[in-house]
Every structure is written in C-alpha cells, then in structure tokens.
Amino acid sequence: MKTWKKWILAAGILGMAAVTVSCGGTEKAGNGGTEKGKLKIGVVQIMQHASLDLANKGFIDGLKERGYDESKVVFDQQNAQGDQSNLRSIANRFVSGKYNLICAISTPAAQAMANATAEIPIIGTAIFDYESAKLMKSEKSPDSNITGTNDRGPLEKQLLLIKEITPNIKKLGTIYNSSEINSVIQAKKLKEACEPLGIELVELTVNSVNDVQQVAEGFLGGKVDAVFIPTDNIIASSIPTVMAIADKEKIPVYGAEVGHVRSGVLASESISFYDIGHKAGLMAADILEGKKQIKDIPVEGADKSGLYINKAEMERLGIKIPQAVLERAELI
C-alpha cells in the first residue's frame, strides 16, 4: 500500500475512535468521557424498540449489581438505527478503542461485532439462535470470543394460547424480515409446530420497514384467522402499522414477547427481555473478574415466561377470552 493511502487509513481509524459515530450513541463515565484507569464497555443494539431497550437495561443493571458502575466503567452506548453500515462503524470504533468487553444486543449486532474482532470478549443477548447465526458451533460449548443469552420463547405455549383464544383457527399468518437469519429460523420452527395442530402457516416477508404496510395488507380478505409476530426487529418497530391493518378486519394479532403486547398486539406468552439482559450482565461480570472465560459459559435462555393480554385490544376486537386464560394473565 502506498504511503499516502496508509496515512488516510490511519486517519480514518483514529477519527472513528475519537468521535461518536453518526448513528447515535452516548458515552457515559462518572464525570463523562473516557477516564484513565476505567474499563471500557461498548454496548450496541441494532435499533431502538421496547424489547431491546429492556435487554440493554438488564445488562447494565447486572453489571452494576456486581460493582461495575460508572465509577469503574465507561459505558459507550451505540444504536445502529437498523443500518448495517452503522454496525460496521460501531464495531470499528470498539475495536480501535481497545474496549475491554462488548455487549451485542440482537443477532445483526452480534454478527457485526464477531466479524470485527476475535479478541475482545462479546456477550450477546436478544439472539434467537447462536448456531444458526454462525456465531458458534454449539451453544453448549462456545468456541470463539462470544457467548450470552438467547431470546427463545415457549413456542408451544404460544400456539396453545392462540388455540385457546381463537379455537377455530385454520390459517395463521406471520410476517418477518427475510434478511434476518433468526427470523427465518423462527418461521421454520413455527411452521413445524403448527402442523400437528392442523394449522396452516401463511408467511409474508419484508426487507425493510418501508415494506411493512403494503405486505401486511396481504393478510386481509379472509386469508388468515390470526397473525403471529416473531421476535423480528423490523416488525417489532412497525407493530402500530401491522395493527392498523389487522384491526380493519378484526384479525387478532399475537406476539412472541411482552413488548409486542405493550405496542398493541392482543396477547403473548412471553419471556422477559430484561431478565435475559440481566443474565448477560452477570456473565460479563464473570469475564471482567477473571472468574470465567468465554468457553466456560454456555449460552443460556430465560428461566420462565408469563402471559400478557392487551385489555384495550381485547375490547376493540370484541373477543371473549376464556376466564381460565384471564385468571393467569397480566392485563396491560
């Protein structure tokens, strides 16, 4: 490489380390800035929506419980705003800054961080399947610099809930981003779980937020009896759009997690994204304390789930939910 090219490359890397990337982020220390002697932890999420925000909060709280607060740590919070090029810029920032640890929230965020470094420990959370995402060969025995928590919900319970509330269901719709590997895997597992119940899965796919409204209209006209939304980042950020369409024909919409219910869907048997984020924070503390290495920490999931129902949507649809379901649910 010519000398002038080397100077340009070096200047670019230094520039990324010196300023917050344009995708939006905050760097927090006790008195602000990167204070000497403090650990540097980069936290990145693919975009902002309720579930990822909860996982983020849980991660930070888990670390703080173990003594890793702003007096000891500079937390560099970054949001890629759904943009892959932003993820690459954030990854370069963390690597060139020689961060002590990275928390990657969502599959795309984890993939970008893992592609950028094989040295810095990465703790992931809100990731459906680490193996399918090519982040490791086995979740039971991590073989690289990444481990963490998954966000797999109780799919069988979710389908049984749909059957309880919509007992005559024959066709279940689902909508997801075909470019996100975890969403593709979820759709495959959902289809497999529907077959024994005699439910036909109707799949609609999008590539961006801009596609959601037009694609979701494919559910209208009696094509489905209900809709299920997986833990898909694009769809999670577009639930009001999906609900506006489904409500035209009073199609009940179910979600994979409680954040969907808070955003307007009818019901969900959901794990807690705060809890999986918190568990990831405790894993990070083990790494920072030197108690464990990445290879010693298998991927873990949620310990429990809960049933959540959106009261306003229930009333809007005019659905009579069985009393047995209501008694075990939290109304939102």
Q: Which residues of 77-92 are buried (b: 16+ CB within 10 A; e: fewer)?
A: bbbbebbeebbbbbbb
Q: State whether residue 309 is helix, strand or coil.
A: strand
Return d(Cα 285, Cα 303) in angstroms, integer. Answer: 20
- Whether residue 181 contacts residue 245, with contact meaning beta carbons closer than 8 Å, is answered with no
Question: What's the rounded mean pLDDT across residues 233-244?
Answer: 96
Residue 59's pLDDT band (cuts 50, 70, 90): very high
Across the chain, mean pLDDT equals 91
User: Given the structure tokens 């949507």, which residue do they identify?
Assistant: 313
Return d(Cα 291, Cα 273) in angstroms, integer. Answer: 25
Return d(Cα 278, Cα 262) in angstroms, integer. Answer: 20
Kindly tell me if the per-residue pLDDT of 99 is higher than 50: yes
Residue 89's pLDDT band (cuts 50, 70, 90): very high
The pTM of the full predicted model, rounded to 2 decimals, is: 0.85
The string of pLDDT tens digits covering residues 276-285 is 999 999 999 9
Residue 283 has a pLDDT of 98
Closest residue by Cα to residue 257 from 327, 324, 332, 199: 332
Give start-end residues of each CATH 3.40.50.2300 domain in the chain: 3-151+273-296, 155-270+305-331
In a 13 Å sphere around the CA of 272, the CA atoms on its Cβ side amount to 13
SS3 percent helix, strand, coil of the chain, rounded to 5, is 45, 20, 35
Kindly tell me if the per-residue pLDDT of 35 is higher than 80: no
CATH topology of domain 3-151+273-296: Rossmann fold (3.40.50)
Got the DSSP string for 269-326? EE--HHHHHHHHHHHHHHHHHTS--GGG---B--S--EEEE-HHHHHHHT----HHHH
Residue with the larger pLDDT of the pair 27 and 296: 296
CATH superfamily of 155-270+305-331: Response regulator (3.40.50.2300)
Kindly tell me if the per-residue pLDDT of 5 is higher than 60: no
Query: Which residues share a beta bridge with 226?
Result: 172
- Whether residue 265 contacts residue 291, with contact meaning beta carbons closer than 8 Å, is answered with no
Other beta carbons within 10 angstroms of residue 240's beta carbon come to 10
